[in-house]
Amino acid sequence: MLKKVIIIAVIAFGAWQLYKDQSQDFSFTESIRAEPPPKTVQAFSSSTPQFRCDGRQHCSQMTSRAEAEFFTRNCPNTKMDGDRDGVPCENDTRF
């Protein structure tokens, strides 16, 4: 009889330890999820232009959509926004 009580006590103690470990792991996982993601640092400042007007006017002379948008907004005599909706190089499949 005493042997059965000891076995039950050991099993109960083991189950309690397992429950305690599992609940600690769960709360640790929840605290990790609750933290906001780290903020990223931009490589370029928005006040420093990445492009400069150099006389290019056509989509075929651009290397990216961002470059075409910069030229359309900031440079004279560009010919990249045929329908004048503010979106340059709409038909260029490279971008």
Give the pLDDT score at 10: 93
Q: Is residue 90 part of a domain?
A: no
Q: Is residue 71 part of a domain?
A: yes
Cβ atoms of residues 88 and 78 within 8 Å? yes
What three-state secondary structure class fits 3? Answer: helix
Residue 39 pLDDT > 80: no
What is the tally of structural domains in the chain? 1
> For the whole model, what pTM was predicted?
0.47
**Structure-block tokens of residue 47:** 């006040």
**pLDDT digit string, tens, across residues 49-76:** 688 999 999 999 999 999 999 999 999 9
* Structural domain boundaries, residue 76: 55-80
Greater pLDDT, 36 or 60? 60
In angstroms and rounded to an integer, the radius of gyration of the C-alpha atoms of the chain is 32
Q: Is residue 67 part of a domain?
A: yes
Q: Is residue 33 part of a domain?
A: no
